[in-house]
Amino acid sequence: MAAQSELYQLYADVLFTLCLKYSKNYQDAEDTLQDSFITIFDKIKQYKNKGSFEGWLKRITIRTAIQKYRDKAPLQIIKELPFKEEVEELNIENTTLSLDVLLDFIQQLPDRYRLVFNLYVLDSYSHKEIAELLNITQGTSKSNLSRARKILKEKLEIHQKKIKEA
C-alpha cells in the first residue's frame, strides 16, 4: 500500500494532465485517472524495465481514456471521403493563448476529433497507430485530424477577435 501511495504521488499530476487532454471535463479526467491507476496497480508486474516507466504509465492512461469512450457509447467516427493530403496546419504562433483556454477548446471538440487530435498532435502517435487503437482507417484518422484542426482554428480566430475588440 505504501508503494502504491508513493507511485501515485510521483505520477498523479503528470497523468492527470494527460487525462484532461482526453476528457470533456475535470470530473471525467478524475475518473480516468482513478481507473488508470487501478489498471497500473493491477498490471505493474507486467512492466519489464524496458523503456520509460513514465511512458508505460502514459500508454495505460491513454488506453484507459479511449476505453472509457468505447464503453460509454460506440465512437461515432464519421467515415469521410478520401482525405486530401494538404492539411491546413493549426497556426497559433501569433496568438496569445493561455494553456487553460487551449485545453478548453480541445475539450470542446467532438469525442472522435479530440481523440485523434490528442493522439496525433499531442502524443505523437502515427495515423496507422491511431487507426488500430480506434478501429478506423488511416484516411478516417487523417480526416478527423483535419476537421479537429479546422474547428480549433475557428475557435482561435473567434477568441482573437474577442481579445482585439476588448
Q: Per-residue pLDDT tens for 90-144?
A: 444 455 567 778 888 888 999 889 999 999 988 889 999 999 988 889 999 999 9
User: 75: closest CA among 116, 111, 126?
Assistant: 111
Write the pLDDT tens digit of every residue in 11-45: 999 999 989 888 888 899 999 999 999 999 999 99
pLDDT the model gives residue 101: 80
For the record, the C-alpha cell of 133 comes out as: 487503437
Is 50 or 64 the better-scoring residue by pLDDT? 64
All cell numbers assigned to 66: 479511449
The confidence score (pLDDT) of residue 89 equals: 41
**Predicted local confidence at residue 71, as pLDDT:** 66
Measured between its terminal Cα atoms, the distance across the chain in Å is 53
- Cα 10 from Cα 124, distance rounded (Å): 24
- With beta carbons less than 8 A apart as the criterion, state whether 12 and 33 touch: yes
Indicate the DSSP class of residue 166. -
CA-based angle 76:26:150, to the nearest 5? 45
Can you give the pLDDT at residue 95? Answer: 52
The answer to whether 112 touches 77, Cβ cutoff 8 Å, is yes
Give the tens place of pLDDT for each residue, 70-87.
Answer: 666 444 433 333 333 333
Output the pLDDT for position 165. 81
